[in-house]
């Protein structure tokens, strides 16, 4: 699997949906009797917090990439103009 950037917004949203699922699971098994609308604020808060975390991580990632030193290329670009003249 290729490495990818850590995305905390997706983690928060996933945890919120998991929490809503646990509430419904507890209700279905008879463990407790939560209010019928309890999952709505859990999911809404998770989506809002996930969006905030996603925007912040994007801004931080963008700033660190912009401030990163530019590494020179392995091979210099071809400055020989003869290949472009032959194509004309």
**H or E segment at 52?**
helix 39-67
CB within 8 A of 54, min separation 6: which ones? 7, 8, 9, 10
Per-residue confidence band for 31, with pLDDT thresholds at 50, 70 and 90: confident
Q: In the chain, what is the greatest distance between 2 CA atoms, to the nearest angstrom? A: 80
Which percentage of the chain shows pLDDT scores above 70? 78
The dihedral built from the CA positions of residue 22, 28, 29 and 34, taken in this order, carries a sign that is positive
pLDDT in tens, 3-19: 888 899 999 999 999 99
Which percentage of the chain shows pLDDT scores above 90? 48
Give this prediction's pTM: 0.68
């Amino acid at each position: 699997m290729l490495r990818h950037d850590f995305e905390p917004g997706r983690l928060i949203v996933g945890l919120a949906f998991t929490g809503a699922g646990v509430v419904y699971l507890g209700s279905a098994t008879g463990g407790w009797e939560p209010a019928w609308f309890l999952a709505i604020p859990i999911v809404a808060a998770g989506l809002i917090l996930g969006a905030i975390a996603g925007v912040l991580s994007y801004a931080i990632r963008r700033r660190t990439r912009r401030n990163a030193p530019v590494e020179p290329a392995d091979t210099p670009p071809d400055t020989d103009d003869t290949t472009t003249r032959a194509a004309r």
